Structure formats: structure tokens, C-alpha cells
Amino acid sequence: MNFNNILTDFQDGITTITINRPKKLNALNQETINELHQAFKDADLDEDSKVIIITGSGEKAFVAGADISEFADYSMEEGEYLAANGQKVLFDFVENLSTPVIAAVNGFALGGGLELAMACHFRVASDNARMGLPEVSLGVIPGYGGTQRLTQLVGKGRAMEMIMTAGMIDANKALSNGLVNHVTSQDELLSLCEKIAGKIRQNSSVAIAAAIKAVNANYQEGVNGFEVEIKEFGKSFGTEDFAEGTSAFLEKRKADFPGR
């Protein structure tokens, strides 16, 4: 499929999606959001695609936010729809994908850009990355899940400060706050993500999908995560991957998971 605003690449079981609007610092306009939805969906449906990496093109930005020029004259109703639709088609969609998604944060991750990185299953940053939720400096609040996911990741006090000051933190601060898992040079960012993806790829994609579901259940209203874990644990015993994984261990050989 041809996209106007994103590039996709597939190699060794890893799909890399690159947001490609460098002149606009990869800001998320509606078309880009819709294309990202499609690209994530395609990669998730492809049984050979075991891990997804998302990054931004150019050396300056991962994503500098939602495209401000698109919503500057919106009404209250349009604003609410923008947030609801965006959360549904991209941010919640990515968080609940069965395929693991790693954000390779290669520069500015602001507003919707940080919200996209936070919707991914985990984040790796280059040492030039700067992250923040600057929405209140525009008279609006984060609308793509930022108030919820930043709080989950860094805790309420730190999230409140970042949101209220509209300030940016650097990659090392993000590392110490638990917002990103690793920091490396920009040159090595993708290879580090690919190395981590390589480790993930060796494991059962069926079990990983179940683990994502169980971890996410902790954050769902009215859902008991421990019960989801028990159900998913039980279901694992009926999978071909479990039969292969346990046999391989007992036979002292490397597992060759049939997968989905």
C-alpha cells in the first residue's frame, strides 16, 4: 500500500514504520493518523511480522505533536471528536495491538508525539530526544491519552509538573523517570531497537499477545487484571506454542514456535 506521510519497511520479522513529514517535524495531521492506523493494522495481521518499531524521519523529531494548523479553528464538538477519534484509531489501537510495538524516539516527542510514544508498549530514546506535553501553553490539554498514560508511566506528581509547566525533559531525565527504557546515540537508536526486537522475536508471539492483554488489563476500568492473567495463563495451555515451548525445553533444543 502507498502512503503519503509514512514509510514502511519489513526485514527479519520486524516492521519499521517511519513517520515522514520532516519539514513539519513529523506533526500528526489526520491523514497521517489514518495512514498509521492502516500500517499498524497491516503489520499486526501479517503473521511474519513479529515486532513493530515506529520512528520519525530526519534527525530532529520523532513527532512534534498533533498538527496545530489543522485544529486551530475547531469548535468544542470538533475538539472532542478529534480526541475521541484519534484515541480510537491510533493511540488505543496501538496500545492494544497483539504485536509488540517499540517507539524509537529520535528527537522531539511533544504533545501527540509523546502520546504516540506512550501508547507504544515501550520506548527507547536517542540522546538528543526531548519530551513534553506542551498543550497547556496552547490553551488546550493533552487529548490523545497523555493525562492518563504519562501518569501511569512516571507517577502523578511528575506528570502534573510536566503537564502544568508545558516543559520538556531530556532523554536522561526520561530514563530516570521510567518514561523510556534505554538511551543511546542517534546513530545507534534503530540498531538497539532491532536488537531488542530480535530477542522478542525468538519468543512465542501467541504468549506475548496474551501478556500484552494481561498487562493492559491493569489499566482498564472495571477489569480485574489478575483475573485476566489467570484466564490468559489457562488459555496458553491449549496453544501449539506452549506444546512446542515446553517440549523444546525438555528435549534441550531451541523452540521453533508455530505462532499465530
Minimal distance, residue 4 CB to ligand COA, in Å: 16
Considering the rule CB under 6 A, would residue 64 count as an interface residue with ligand COA?
yes
Q: Which is nearer to ligand COA, 140 or 248 (CB)?
A: 140
Helix (H) or strand (E) holding 198: helix 189-201
Helices and strands (H and E) in the chain: how many:
12, 10
| 65 binds ligand COA, rule: CB under 6 A | yes
Contact between 117 and ligand COA by CB under 6 A: the answer reads no
CB distance 86 to 93 below 8 Å: no
Determine if 69 is a binding residue for ligand COA (CB under 6 A).
yes
Based on the shown chain and the rule CB under 6 A, indicate whether residue 100 belongs to the binding site for ligand COA: no
Q: Are 97 and 52 in contact (CB under 8 A)?
A: yes
* Cα distance between residue 103 and residue 56, in whole Å: 9
Q: Which stretch binds ligand COA (CB under 6 A): 12-20, 66-74, 195-203, 238-246?
A: 66-74
Per the residue annotation, which of 135, 161, 188, 227 is the catalytic one? 135
Amino acid at 258: P
Nearest to 74 by CA among 148, 138, 23: 138
Q: Using alpha carbons, select from 164, 166, 143, 162 the residue that is nearest to residue 153.
A: 162
CB 19, min distance to ligand COA, A: 12
CB of 208 to ligand COA, least distance (A): 32
- Identify the residue among 14, 25, 53, 94 touching ligand COA (CB under 6 A): 25
For ligand COA, the binding residues in 126-185 under the rule CB under 6 A are: 134-135, 138
Q: Is 217 in the site for ligand COA (CB under 6 A)?
A: no
End-to-end CA distance of the chain: 23
Q: Among positive and negative, which fits the CA dihedral 45, 51, 55, 58?
A: negative
* Known catalytic residue at 95: no
* Whether 240 is catalytic: no
State which of residues 101, 108, 146, 211 lies at the interface with ligand COA (CB under 6 A). 108
Q: Please identify, using beta-carbon distances, which residue of 111 and 145 lies nearer to ligand COA.
A: 111
In sequence order, the 6+-apart residues with CB closer than 8 A to the CB of 149 are 115, 118, 119
Query: Residues with catalytic annotation?
Result: 115, 135
Q: What residue ranges bind ligand COA (CB under 6 A)? A: 24-25, 27, 64-69, 108, 110-112, 134-135, 138
